[in-house]
A and B are shown apart, each in its own frame.
Chain A
Amino acid sequence: MTLQHYLVISAILFTLGIFAVLTRRNAISILMGIELILNSCNLNFAAFSRFVTPPEDISGQIIAIFGIVLAAAEAAVFLAIILAIYREFGSIRPNEVDTLKG
């Protein structure tokens, strides 16, 4: 398993995440897409830490762990916002929440 394998998998994950964010009709699905994107990033950090930087430098892996924590916090905030939107609009479909339309 070389660095290229990891990067390919990461790219596939990122692309799937972007696709989900742009196309899903459900806010929860969009959240899941975002999680995919974040995890693809974490995978990249870990991979670069293992294959590129010297073994004693583990800052890439640390950042990956930070990323996981970040994703957890972000999910909590996101879910809170979705709840608020649901109360306001009675829906969590993003295309129906368009009050800021010009």
Chain B
Amino acid sequence: MTVSLISLILLCPLAAFAVFGLLGLANRRFPRQDYLSTAAMLIALACSFLLLREVVPEPETHTVNWVSLGSVTFSMGFYLDSVTAIMLIVVTLVSSLVHIFSMGYMHGDPRYPRFFAYLSLFSFSMLFLVVSDNLLGIYIGWELVGLCSYLLIGFWFEKDSAANACKKAFLTTRVGDVGMFIGMMMLFTKFKTLSLYGEGGIFALAASQLTTGDMVWLSIAGVLIFCGAIGKSAQMPLHTWLPDAMEGPTPVSALIHAATMVAAGVYLTARMFPILTETSSLVIAYVGGITALVAATIAIVRFDIKRVLAYSTISQLGYMMLAIGAGSYVAGLFHLTTHAFFKALLFLGSGSVIHAFHAMHAHGHDDEHEHDDSDAHGHEHNEDSDSGHVLGSEIPPDQDMRNMGGLRHKMPITFITMLIATLSISGVPFIFSGFWSKDAILAGVLGRAMEWNSVHHYILFIMALSAAGITAFYMFRLIFMTFFGEPRNQEMHDMAHESPLSMTVPLLILAVLSLPVVNTLWFNAAYVKPPPQPHLHAPAHAYIAPDTKGGTGLAFSLFGVSEAVAAEENAGHDTHGTHADDGHHGHGPAHTIAMVLSICVAGLGIFLSWLFYHRRTLSAESVTTTFRPIYDLFWHKYYFDEFYDGVLVALTVWKARLFAQFDGTVVDGIVNGVGVVTRDILAAFTGAFDNRVVDGIVNRVAQVTWAVGGRIRRIQTGAIQTYLFVVLAGIVLLILIFRAL
């Protein structure tokens, strides 16, 4: 049953793409590729829900051998546990809604059917990645989603910026993928398998075979595999591709670059949870924490609505990484789930806004996206216009928040739904899912800090907390600038309109999904349990409070999620062998502290944002002038792009020049030298031989033949009587000869 359901989930989107691909070979189109792809996704969605009911406490593995090379056999198979089921729901649900949204958003695009075919291919790849039970399958899905990302970012490849962005995305993630592949090979050389589960799988072997001496090796392998996640999930320092990926159509940003593909890195890290050591966990947590904080600060100063959301995504992904690195497996995955919905909602909402603005400077959609910078509504020259252009910093007018304002009356549905998502991501308490998941992460990190008495985790907690406050600030900045206040660009404002039903309905559905009650339907039903981490040992000086679990669990027990998180804490204690399980009611003071602090910083962030961008009691311009260096740092995104352009790209170009010069002098020199030797010496010699000897022989033969022929031809006189005479003489001669015999 489960196998057929999973197969159906995989095959539906693949079939939808295959129809496009096979007909494409015949240079034809299926007339309603959009309906086909959407229907396929809806079937997959239904199957995912059916599958949720099939999940049993014990994970299931279904494996077949794929290829055998000598003594090594590579297998392919499905692994189904609660995490798989949740991921399937998330991917199919967001993908279905994005399909529906795209019917409105992409309507009239010249490559409309192709867009849906790519979406189908992406959905298949992502689902394949999710259900694979071995690293090889995950890697195949991993590269396939990377390919789809490339194709969809560059969907409007007529734009140079889109073409550059898709190349950048592909190459940057490739850097991480190389690390991931090396990590996989390290595991492979050690264990001679790429399967993860079962008795012969990597996890079982790692638990039983490795000694403490292998921990350094295992840490390196873990960090290298995490490199893949750094690239794919746009973590520091490989995050620069994700903001540029916003050149793709907005539904793509929602699906691939907010909800699913970038979360694949988190998913992979979660899958690798059992082999994480203390060192690799800490590396992951720090990368996540730094990313969360840095990306949030960059988001403050962006004016492009999609880039604000892009940096927000990077920041939230950092949160998830931090959670997994700090051992809060459930919290990380829970945040992945909630984030997928509210971030998809934010992106689709921004798409709705962009769509509303499109109508005014393009009468049809056919020629849109082609005149981004040359428009009459060019940039107002604000304080940042002297900041110089770095890649991707030119803002199309329809995405520039400085052109928006007061849209809440024009687009009420978009406004309400985006506001819900913003409240959710900002961590406004109790009725929004983001609060619960973010709070679970903060509590997890603080819990570990208190439990281990670890300075690292206190630092990480402060990073996460600051990021939470900044997130609330910049998200409300987005809302205030876009939907409140007076219209800044009256002409654009007059043309704006609410989007069609196909776009607003997915927004409404996603808004409902941003409420925690809905999320717990599957998150609790599947009951996520963190796998044990045999290689992670609490530090020797760990301080374990004897009774940290009697604190208040009031708010947390409101929802099933909190039970899972609580259970995780207990499980965490169990693996360390320090605590007996005292049921699901234990909550450390960490939860209370974390919750109070997170509500405070979120409130502070929102309040500041209100002061700056709504009341305008405080002036953003004056603060900018006062803290000019810091503003510049944020505006230039910590100079990452400048660094990459100035150092890595320049180095590559310099190296390419060097090689070109080597090519031009040494290689060409050798080739030309060989050419000269061949032509001037060998060819001259053989030419002479040919001219003298070979031609000589041929000519001599001809001359001899000519001369002999010249003599002999005189025999043929043409006089018939001469011939007769000769004949007669011959006969006489013969007679004489015969007589003599």
Complex contact A100–B721 (CB within 8 A): no
- The interface stretch among B115-123, B146-154, B712-720 is B712-720
Minimum C-beta distance from B705 to chain A (A): 15
What number of A residues sit within 8 Å (CB to CB) of B?
Answer: 13
Complex contact A102–B718 (CB within 8 A): yes
Minimum C-beta distance from B723 to chain A (A): 10
Residues of A near B714 (CB, < 8 A) are 102
Residues of A near B712 (CB, < 8 A) are 102
Residue of A nearest to B714 (CB): A102
Residues of B near A99 (CB, < 8 A) are 718
With A22-B725, A22-B728 as given contacts, are A101 and B717 in contact (CB-CB < 8 Å)?
A: yes
Q: B724 contacts the other chain (Cβ, under 8 Å)?
A: yes
Minimum C-beta distance from B54 to chain A (A): 106
Complex contact A94–B713 (CB within 8 A): no
Residue of A nearest to B713 (CB): A102
A94 to B720, CA, bound (A): 7
Residues of B near A47 (CB, < 8 A) are none
Q: A21 contacts the other chain (Cβ, under 8 Å)?
A: yes
Q: A2 contacts the other chain (Cβ, under 8 Å)?
A: no
Which residues of chain A from 88 to 102 have any CB-CB distance to chain B below 8 Å in the complex?
94-95, 97-102
Residues of B near A18 (CB, < 8 A) are 728
Residue of B nearest to A21 (CB): B724
Minimum C-beta distance from A31 to chain B (A): 13
Complex contact A22–B721 (CB within 8 A): yes
Which residues of chain B from 546 to 591 have any CB-CB distance to chain A below 8 Å in the complex?
none
Partner of B721, one of A94, A101, A102: A94
Residue of B nearest to A95 (CB): B719
Which residues of chain A from 8 to 59 have any CB-CB distance to chain B below 8 Å in the complex?
18, 21-23, 30
Partner of A95, one of B713, B716, B721, B725: B721
Partner of A98, one of B715, B718, B728: B718
Residues of A near B718 (CB, < 8 A) are 97-102
A74 to B273, CA, bound (A): 119
Complex contact B721–A98 (CB within 8 A): no
A98 to B728, CA, bound (A): 20
Complex contact B719–A98 (CB within 8 A): yes
A100 to B713, CA, bound (A): 11
A95 to B722, CA, bound (A): 9
Residues of A near B725 (CB, < 8 A) are 22
Minimum C-beta distance from A91 to chain B (A): 13
Residue of A nearest to B728 (CB): A18
A79 to B215, CA, bound (A): 122
**CB-CB contacts of A60-100 with B at 8 A, as 1s and 0s?**
00000000000000000000000000000000001101111
Partner of B716, one of A23, A94, A100: A100
Complex contact A102–B719 (CB within 8 A): no
Partner of A102, one of B715, B720, B724: B715
Which residues of chain B from 688 to 741 have any CB-CB distance to chain A below 8 Å in the complex?
712-721, 724-725, 728
Residues of B near A23 (CB, < 8 A) are 721
Complex contact A102–B716 (CB within 8 A): yes
Which of A18, A101, A102 has the largest number of chain B CB atoms within 10 A?
A: A102
Minimum C-beta distance from B695 to chain A (A): 29
Residue of B nearest to A101 (CB): B718
Residues of A near B721 (CB, < 8 A) are 21-23, 30, 94-95
Residues of A near B728 (CB, < 8 A) are 18, 22
Residue of A nearest to B715 (CB): A102
Residue of A nearest to B717 (CB): A101
Residues of A near B720 (CB, < 8 A) are 94, 97
Minimum C-beta distance from A15 to chain B (A): 11
A22 to B722, CA, bound (A): 8
Complex contact A98–B717 (CB within 8 A): yes
Which of A18, A98, A99 has the largest number of chain B CB atoms within 10 A?
A: A98
Which of B712, B714, B718, B724 has the largest number of chain A CB atoms within 10 A?
A: B718
A95 to B723, CA, bound (A): 12
Minimum C-beta distance from A94 to chain B (A): 5
A94 to B721, CA, bound (A): 8
Residues of B near A100 (CB, < 8 A) are 716, 718
**CB-CB contacts of B219-262 with A at 8 A, as 1s and 0s?**
00000000000000000000000000000000000000000000
A95 to B720, CA, bound (A): 7
A23 to B720, CA, bound (A): 11
Kindly list 5 other residue pairs between chains A and B, CB separation below 8 angstroms, not including A101-B717, A102-B717. A30-B721, A95-B719, A97-B720, A100-B718, A102-B714
Of the A-B pairs whose beta carbons lie under 8 Å apart in the complex, a sample of 10, sorted by A's number, is A21-B721, A21-B724, A22-B724, A22-B728, A30-B721, A94-B719, A97-B720, A101-B719, A102-B716, A102-B717
A-B pairs, top 8 by smallest CB distance, nearest first, are A102-B716, A101-B718, A98-B718, A102-B713, A100-B718, A94-B720, A95-B719, A98-B719
